[in-house]
Structure 1
Amino acid sequence: MKTFDYTITDSLGIHARPGGELVKVAKPFTSKITLACNGKTADAKRLIAVMSLGAKQGHAVNVSVEGDDEEAASAAMETFFKANL
């Protein structure tokens, strides 16, 4: 299992556009990708779940990746977060 924490810097937090892009990055991987924020968890491959986290600027998001391609999935998610959120 690979995990990392990321603090949201985008002034709007995870809203519809970056949320949709995050799901697009997560979907091709077979690994289970879970986001945790504000005491809630969400499957990163489901937009409604990602949006329900309510992650705003300054909130810490924990990303957990577990599966056969966890190395690549974790690297892709970390790159996405740093570039877009």
Structure 2
Amino acid sequence: MATRTVTIASSVGLHARPASLFVEAVGETGLDVEIGRPGEASVDAGSILGVMALGAKHGEEVVLTAEGPEAEAALDRLAELLATDLDAQ
């Protein structure tokens, strides 16, 4: 299982537009990806409601996990996306 820990860069955290862009990118991977705070239960990263309900704020760390043949590369791309201020784009 591949894992990445990343700090949320978007100024509003994972709400509305940033969450939508992230969930869309997760869907493009074709993998089952989960996201959660370190030490807490994770949610389906492909679910906009799950990601928004997580309530991850700017500057908070989240952990991404996935399993599959392309999981390492997919998580690298997703972590890079979360480390970008998606509100500024």
Q: TM-score, normalised by structure 2?
A: 0.82
Q: Which amino acid aligns with 2:74?
A: A
Which runs of 5 or more structure 2 residues have no equivalent in the other structure?
Answer: none
| Contact 1:30/1:69 (8 A) holds in 2 | no
More deviation, 12-21/24-33: 24-33
Q: How does 1:6-85 map to 2 (within 5 A)?
A: 6-37=6-37, 39-84=40-85
| 1:31-57 superposed Cα distances (whole Å, 9 cap, x missing partner) | 221001272411111100000101012
Q: Secondary structure at the match of 2:25?
A: helix
Which runs of 5 or more structure 1 residues have no equivalent in the other structure?
Answer: none
Q: Aligned-pair distance for 1:83?
A: 2.1
Q: Aligned-pair distance for 1:11?
A: 2.5
Cα RMSD (Å) of the superposition?
A: 1.7
Question: What percentage of aligned pairs have identical amino acids?
Answer: 32
Compare the two structures and name the one with the higher strand fraction. 1
Q: TM-score, normalised by structure 1?
A: 0.85
